[in-house]
């Protein structure tokens, strides 16, 4: 299986998470790519789409993933499979708002979510890649049976 990891990040934490997930994908015998400038040209129904995004502003998407999210609104994503990892800080009312925006968008466009999204509270998980990898390996087991 091939994973397209679409990263939304301002300060780099989500990039670290995406890179750690990619290592566990490869360790499990799969392939993948981190897209640090997400673009719809990478859309491929045969791959699993993994959104890995933080939230900024007041519940907003990071700037680097805004154009991608807008472009997805014009796509038919029926038949696509996805997973979502959100990073956020629970001291904000808009905790993990960007991950929730992406979830709503993907579901509206017909994407099947292979698991409930993971929301990582960086207040309690200062090294978010640890919990992300733990979760991902568990999901991989359930979803792909690897």
Ligand X SMILES: Cc1cc2nc3c(=O)[nH]c(=O)nc-3n(C[C@H](O)[C@H](O)[C@H](O)COP(=O)(O)O)c2cc1C
Binding site for ligand X (CB under 6 A): 9-14, 54-59, 62, 87-89, 92, 94-97, 122
Cβ atoms of 35 and 5 within 8 Å: the answer is: yes
Q: Specify the residue, 14 or 81, whose C-beta has the smaller distance to ligand X.
A: 14
Q: Specify the residue, 77 or 87, whose C-beta has the smaller distance to ligand X.
A: 87
Cβ atoms of 3 and 30 within 8 Å: the answer is: yes
Which DSSP category does 105 fall into? H
Output the smallest distance, CB 95 to ligand X, in A.
4
Output the smallest distance, CB 142 to ligand X, in A.
26
Return the ∠ at Cα 8 (arms to 7 and 12), rounded to 5°.
90
Output the smallest distance, CB 146 to ligand X, in A.
27
Q: And the tokens for 126? A: 């200062």
């Amino acid at each position: 299986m091939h994973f397209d990891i679409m990263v939304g990040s301002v300060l780099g934490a989500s990039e670290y998470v995406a890179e750690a997930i990619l290592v566990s994908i490869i360790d499990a015998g799969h392939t993948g790519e981190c897209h640090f400038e997400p673009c719809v040209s990478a859309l491929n129904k045969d791959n699993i789409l993994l959104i890995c995004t933080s939230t900024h502003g007041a519940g907003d998407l990071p700037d680097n993933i805004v154009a991608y999210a807008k472009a997805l609104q014009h796509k038919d994503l029926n038949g696509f499979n996805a997973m979502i990892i959100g990073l956020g800080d629970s001291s904000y009312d808009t905790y993990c708002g960007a991950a929730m925006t992406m979830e709503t968008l993907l579901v509206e466009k017909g994407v099947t979510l292979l698991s409930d999204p993971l929301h990582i509270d960086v207040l309690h998980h200062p090294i978010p890649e640890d919990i992300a990898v733990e979760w991902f390996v568990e999901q991989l087991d359930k979803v792909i049976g690897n």
